[in-house]
Amino acid sequence: MAVQMQASARKPMKKAPVSFIEPERRCMLIAEAAYFRAEHRGFEPGHELDDWLAAESDIDGMLGRAECPVACSV
């Protein structure tokens, strides 16, 4: 038999901040971040997908935390 918690004893779930950004703007921010990643490693070929995926993760993480990269002019 499971013990049910009273409503007052439950912790409210924290919701992550939601940021809306136009898909085209998001794509541009990812492309710019991927470019800087490629530049940092000397534009060595063969890492384009890795650069894009890492940049996408970085940008989505910033947007999910409602942060804005320096180049963002929202």
pLDDT score of 4 more than 60:
no
Which pLDDT score is estimated for 60? 93
Distance CA 30, CA 37 (A): 10
**pTM here?**
0.62
Nearest Cα residue to 18 out of 64, 51, 50: 64
Which pLDDT score is estimated for 34? 98
For residues 74 and 4, which has the higher predicted lDDT (pLDDT)? 4
Q: Is the four-CA dihedral 22, 25, 29, 34 of positive or negative sign?
A: positive
What share of the chain in percent tops pLDDT 90? Answer: 55
Which pLDDT score is estimated for 20? 79
Domain ranges of the chain: 18-74
